Amino acid sequence: MSGKRRSAHPPYTYPDYKSSILRGPGRDPIDLDRLDAKHPSSMGVESGVLLAGRFRPGELDHDLTRNARRGGEPLGERLVVSGRVLDECGNPAPGVLVEIWQANAAGRYLHKADEHDAPVDPNFLGAGRCVTDREGCYRFCTIQPGAYPWKNHHNAWRPRHIHFSVIGDSLVSRLVTQMYFPGDPLLDFDPIFESVPDAARSRLIARFDLGLTQPEFALGYHFDIVVAGSGATPRDNHGSGK
């Protein structure tokens, strides 16, 4: 990866994000292509297994407002989040698995490790997936996630955000990132967002889109994901947690 490409991404360890010191690798990354050529092992074969066409999302997997109902509507402001997955040349990436996960409207994840003193929504799982179409487009219907405290520093709060995972032809091509919302006052105080180089931060902020907005139902936000190149969407190098 060239320096120009790497400049879009945050460092693996960032002192202001305390847990990244423990999560970040202490050694240089391994070049899997060179490793496969030198030692054609089962690991190399597995890393290159083609995944295209293997994804079979369910009918409601893309709709987080309906995929976990237990007797009522999930609480919160409904959103449509849509965009395209593109390669470094701006070409669409069809057949790509896009997964999202997020907190509920109160800022609580449906996870046993989340101890935030906020209510769990029994009708909201906070996770969904879909596969991009021929034009590289994806679309989710979900709920506006809430901000939440995370104890990284005094009075630390995470901005509203949605986690994205994008998987192409093989598992080694996975990109994990986070999408933020325009105008969020917490962005300036968030070390995860601040760890991204200045020039690339805007690529993590969705754009309000009246064309995606559904009348009397849900606001629309547009968020494109570029998987490589100088205009790549910055990765989440600090793990896929909060």
88-139 residue pLDDT tens: 899 999 999 999 999 999 999 999 899 899 999 999 999 999 999 999 999 9
Question: Which residue in 151, 172, 141 sits closest to 241, CA to CA?
Answer: 151
Using alpha carbons only, give the angle 78, 205, 105 rounded to the nearest 5 degrees: 30
* Three state DSSP letters for 172-232: HHCEEEEEECCCCCCHHHCHHHHCCCHHHHHHHECEECCCCCECCCEEEEECCEECCCCCC
Per the prediction, the chain carries an average pLDDT of 86
pLDDT for 231:
86
> Hey, which residues are catalytic here?
109, 148, 158, 161, 163
pLDDT for 71:
87
Residue 156, SS3?
coil
pLDDT for 45:
46
CATH superfamily of 3-12+51-226: Aromatic compound dioxygenase (2.60.130.10)
pLDDT for 103:
98
Divide the 242 residues of the chain into consecutive groups of 10 and give the mean pLDDT of each group: 54 67 71 64 50 76 96 96 95 94 97 92 96 96 97 95 90 86 98 94 97 98 92 76 58
Query: Can you tell me the distance from the alpha carbon of 2 to that of 225, in angstroms, rounded to the nearest whole number?
Result: 19
pLDDT for 165:
95
Query: Can you tell me the distance from the alpha carbon of 11 to that of 100, in angstroms, rounded to the nearest whole number?
Result: 23
Query: Can you tell me the distance from the alpha carbon of 13 to that of 63, in angstroms, rounded to the nearest whole number?
Result: 34
